[in-house]
Structure 1
C-alpha cells in the first residue's frame, strides 16, 4: 500500500482481551449503520469463537470478523472510511488461515446479498435459498478448503465465474459453446470483465457457435468492440475440436471453473489449483491456434 494512512495489520485476537475493540467496530457497522438490535448483534457465540482484528498504523481497530465453532465465518465488519482498501479481503483470508490450522475441510457463511461477489472472489459458492436475518437479506455460501468445489446451480456458476475472473493476473481463457447465456451476459460478469480488460488483462474466447451470440446481441461482443486490445474471439471449426462437449474458464493464477457438459451450469471450480488450470490452458492453446478469428465481431455494429 502506497499511502501511510492505508497501512493496516490483521491478527488473531482473544475475544476476552479484544472485546472492546471488536464491539466498537461492530457497533458502528451493524448497530448504527444497519440498524441491527444490540441484543441480536452480541450473542453467546462470541466467547466461543476465533476472532481476527484489523488495526491501522496507530493501533486503532478498523475491522473484525469471527470463526464460530460450527465452522461459520461471520460478523465481518470494516469501518466506512476503510472500505475498498482490501481490509475485508485481509480479514477473510486470516479467518480462512485459522480454519485451515484447525484442520477444517469446509467453512460456510451468511453473506448479505450485496456482499455475495466479495465472497465469490475467495471461492465461496451460494447454496440453499436466500433468507432474512436481522431485517437484512442473506445468502448462505460455502467453501471447500483445499479441494474441488461442486457447482450445482446457476448462481453458484456465476459466483465461480466471478472468482476466476477476479483472480486472473494477466490472462483469462474462455472455452464456450455460445458465450454462455445466464453467465457471461450478466451485469456482474460484464462488470468484472470490463475491470479486467481496462486493467490491462487479455481475454481469449473460443466459441463453438459464434452466430448465436451475434443474433442475441450478446453484451460481451459490444464490450470487446470498446476494448479491442483486451478481447479476442475465435470460432472452432475443426471436427476433432467440435466434438469436445465441455466448457471452462481458466486464469493464469490457478483458478478454473469446468463444466463437463458445456450447455449446463453445473460443474466444478477451484481458485488455487495451478495443476488443473495448467491442464486447461494446455488444452486451450492448440485449439486456439487451429480456430478461425471471428472477424465478424469486429465489424458488427451494436
Structure 2
C-alpha cells in the first residue's frame, strides 16, 4: 500500500476504478470521476509484478470512497488492508471523523473497521448505499432504537474475540433484531475462540418471554454464557452496556431506555467497563433454567 505520488500511480488507480465501477458494476463513466479526485489523497496497492490490485481515496472532509479491489484478488483481505491504509492517511491528515457511502453488500467490511451505519438506504449511481461514519478516539450519542441497532451491529462485527453484555432482559427490539442476530451468528461462527458473556438482571422475564438470542445461545453453548446477578447490590444496577475487546462500547445509564453513549475506538473506557463487568460475573449464577427450556 502506498500513497499515490505521481501521475503514473494515479492513472493506474483510475484504470482500476474504471474496470470495477464502470465495466463491472455499470456506474456511468461521467459519475465515476468527479471534482474530489483532484482534492483527495489516493492510496494504491500493487502486486509483485507492479500491477494495481486495489485503490481508494479520502477527501479533505474525511469521506472515504472509490475503494476498489480487482475481481481476481477479492476475498484475500486486500479490501480491509486498503481501508486501514486510508484510515492511516486520515489520521496523518488530522481527520478524527471519517465517513463513506457503503454499498449494502460491503457494509460488513466497514463495520469490522468500526464504521456505524446511519440514516436510510439511498441510491447512488443506480446502487443501494447507506452512510457509515467512524469516530476515532471519541464517543457519540445513541438516541433511538435504529441507532442502537446500527451501533450494536458494528460493536459485534468489530469485536476480535470477546463481547460482554450487561442487560436487564435482553432489550426487546434490540437483541432480537434480525440485523443484530445475524451479526451475532457471524461473530460466533467466524471468530476463533469467540466468547459472548451475557449478564442478566431479570432472567425470569427473559424465560417467560423467550427470544431468538436464547435459541442461538443454546445451539452454541461453547460461545454463549448466560448468568444472572444475585448479589443485592448487583441487582440494583440500573444501567446496561455492551463492550467488545476492540475498544468499543454502548453504555446506557438507564437500562429501560435505549439512549446512551457509544464509541468504537476508546480502548481505555472499554477496558474499564470490562473490568467492572468481571467481578459481577464471577459472583453471579449460571442460568441453568434456560437449558431446561429446550428452546
TM-score (norm 2): 0.90
Please name the residue that 1:130 is paired with. 121
Question: How many angstroms apart in 1 are the aligned matches of 2:60 and 2:250?
Answer: 30
Please name the residue that 1:5 is paired with. none
Cα 1:115–1:211 change in 2 (3 A) is farther
SS at match of 1:45: helix
Query: Of 108, 113, 131, which aligns to 2:99?
Result: 108
Q: State the shift of 1:82 in Å.
A: 2.2
Confirm whether residue 241 of structure 1 aligns to residue 211 of structure 2: no
Question: How many angstroms apart in 1 are the aligned matches of 2:112 and 2:147?
Answer: 12
Q: What pairs up with 1:141-290 in 2 under 5 angstroms?
A: 141-198=132-189, 199-290=192-283
Question: How many angstroms apart in 1 are the aligned matches of 2:290 and 2:150?
Answer: 27
Question: How many angstroms apart in 2 are the aligned matches of 1:237 and 1:37?
Answer: 61
SS at match of 1:185: coil
Contact in 1 for aligned 2:111/2:158 (Cα 8 Å): no
Q: State the shift of 1:152 in Å.
A: 3.1
Please name the residue that 2:26 is paired with. 35
| Deviation string, structure 1 residues 41-82 (Cα, Å, up to 9, x no partner) | 111221221001122232221111111123211111112232
Cα 1:43–1:15 change in 2 (3 A) is farther
Query: Of 3, 14, 17, which aligns to 2:8?
Result: 17
Confirm whether residue 298 of structure 1 aligns to residue 291 of structure 2: yes
Q: State the shift of 1:278 in Å.
A: 1.7
SS at match of 1:14: coil
Question: How many angstroms apart in 1 are the aligned matches of 2:31 and 2:170?
Answer: 44
Q: State the shift of 1:151 in Å.
A: 2.5
SS at match of 1:147: coil
SS at match of 1:166: helix
SS at match of 2:157: helix
Cα 1:182–1:63 change in 2 (3 A) is farther
Contact in 1 for aligned 2:136/2:265 (Cα 8 Å): no
Please name the residue that 2:80 is paired with. 89
Q: State the shift of 1:15 in Å.
A: 6.2
Contact in 2 for aligned 1:15/1:47 (Cα 8 Å): no
List, as ranges, runs of 4+ consecutive aligned residues in structure 1 with deviation greater than 6 Å: none
TM-score (norm 1): 0.88
Cα 1:59–1:162 change in 2 (3 A) is farther
Contact in 2 for aligned 1:127/1:141 (Cα 8 Å): yes
Question: How many angstroms apart in 2 are the aligned matches of 1:177 and 1:84?
Answer: 39
SS at match of 2:55: strand
Contact in 2 for aligned 1:126/1:155 (Cα 8 Å): no
Contact in 1 for aligned 2:43/2:56 (Cα 8 Å): yes
Please give the root-mean-square deviation of Cα atoms over the aligned residues, in Å.
2.1
Question: How many angstroms apart in 1 are the aligned matches of 2:254 and 2:127?
Answer: 36
Work out the number of aligned pairs and report it. 293
Contact in 1 for aligned 2:141/2:260 (Cα 8 Å): yes
Question: How many angstroms apart in 1 are the aligned matches of 2:19 and 2:148?
Answer: 34
Please name the residue that 2:53 is paired with. 62
| Deviation string, structure 1 residues 109-161 (Cα, Å, up to 9, x no partner) | 11122323322222222334332211122222222222123323334323322
Between 1:181-190 and 1:85-94, the stretch displaced more is 181-190
